[in-house]
Amino acid sequence: MIEVIDTGIAPSSGPINDCVRAGNHVWLVVIAEDPKTGAIIDGDIEAQARQALSNLKQAVTAAGGALTNIVQVQIFLIDSADAPGMNRVYAEFFNHKPYPIRATVVVKELLAKGLRIEITATAVIDRTA
């Protein structure tokens, strides 16, 4: 059974959920959006990465976990030149070992205008603890 998690982040206008749980597994997707309005934030990759990762932290917390529960991260960038800036910000949020596994992919474009980064993640949260 899939359970939709209310993250407190403005919902997508598309037919998607930003955070779902099945058993102890939680799947999340976040972008560099203002969590209240859903508007894409202006700024360089560091500003957008910081907002996306802040949204990730908010979402996993809403699911009853923490960043330490995240086991896999996939990052989509529109420019490979953004990787160093994204990595600097990523290290601020994921500064614990073991680190989640991660793939970073450069794509031609993301759907929202002005968006430089999109992140998907998987967490394992033991709800019996």
CA–CA dist 116, 91 (Å, integer): 18
Task: Tell me the whole-structure pTM to 2 decimals.
Answer: 0.95
Are 13 and 30 in contact by the 8 Å Cβ rule? The answer is no
Q: Can you list the domains of the chain with their CATH numbers?
A: 3-124 (3.30.1330.40)
| pLDDT tens per residue across span 75-102 | 999 999 999 999 999 999 999 999 999 9
Sheet holding 3-4, edge to edge: 3-4, 19-22, 25-31, 117-124, 70-77, 101-106
| pLDDT tens per residue across span 17-30 | 999 999 999 999 99
Which two structure tokens, joined as six digits, stand for 73?
A: 């991260």
The helix (H) or strand (E) run that includes residue 47 is helix 45-62
Q: How far is CA 6 from CA 97, 102, 114, in A?
A: 28, 25, 25
